[in-house]
Amino acid sequence: MDTIIHAILQASIVSKAVLALLLLMSVVSWAYMLGKWVCLRTAQKDVARGLETIDADDLMSALPALERNARSPLFGITRRGVREFNRINRTGDAEKLLNDNVRRALHFGIAEEMGSLKSSLALLATAANTAPFIGLFGTVWGIMYSFQAIARMKSVSLATVAPGIAEALIATAVGLFVAIPATCGYNVFRAKLTAIESQCITFAGQLLNRMQHEAGSHPDGLPFAGGK
């Protein structure tokens, strides 16, 4: 560890700047991954709970339970579906329009919620893709700096070359240290998002079925926050 710290202290200003940038990217990536993990885990639990609710209860019993959890992705999906159901219900053409119109509304709701959950995921992909190249740039620059120092000393012994090369290679190692966790995190989050989207599609299908079966039972529309 002392050797690594000494090598960093002896590095050129450009190499130090590269290492500082990579350290910042690492801190931001880990902070983002921690926050995103909590966010997606909560969303997954909320969606699973909503699926159980819509599967077990009729609409008038299920909607209040879904309405109480405004943070759930299903809240926005349900609100869009109920709003469209109530709109076409007032026209008197619910039986003809319900399937296509509400289906589109639910589709837009899923797209909106998934877009929100996917927000800033590109930040992680950027860190994963650029960190190795930033580290490589630091390495190349460090080697150039070392060769210049060797030329000034007019010595090409291994003892002269090795410290400078070791300093330069630290940047590549740090770049990989940033990129590997970011890549793993990105892939894990993509898998979680795919699972959540699949559950949301299942929920939307069940909600649409309930609306079709119970359309005639709610002439005054369905109660839901923002669904009027």
Asked whether residue 94 is domain-assigned, the answer is yes
Asked whether residue 25 is domain-assigned, the answer is yes
Asked whether residue 226 is domain-assigned, the answer is no
Size of the chain in residues: 228
Closest C-alpha among 132, 213, 123, 138 to residue 168: 138
Asked whether residue 108 is domain-assigned, the answer is yes
- What crossing angle do the helices spanning 158-214 and 121-153 adopt, rounded to 10°? 170
On whether the CB atoms of residues 56 and 41 are closer than 8 A, the answer is no
**How confident is the model over 142-162, as pLDDT tens digits?**
777 777 766 666 656 655 666
Asked whether residue 165 is domain-assigned, the answer is yes
Q: pLDDT higher for 28 or 58?
A: 28
Asked whether residue 116 is domain-assigned, the answer is yes
Asked whether residue 80 is domain-assigned, the answer is yes
Distance CA 104, CA 98 (A): 10
**How confident is the model over 73-114, as pLDDT tens digits?**
999 998 998 888 888 777 766 666 677 888 889 999 999 999
| pTM for this predicted structure | 0.81
b/e string for 110-130 if b means 16 or more Cβ within 10 A?
beebbeebbeebebbeebbeb
Distance CA 42, CA 50 (A): 12
Which residue in this structure is represented by tokens 């995103």? 36
Q: Give me the number of domains the chain comprises.
A: 1
What pLDDT does residue 228 have? 62
pLDDT band at 70 (very low <50, low <70, confident <90, very high): confident
The rounded percent of the chain whose pLDDT value lies above 70 is 79
Q: pLDDT higher for 122 or 16?
A: 122
Q: Domain range spanning residue 166?
A: 2-217
Asked whether residue 224 is domain-assigned, the answer is no
Distance CA 75, CA 212 (A): 19
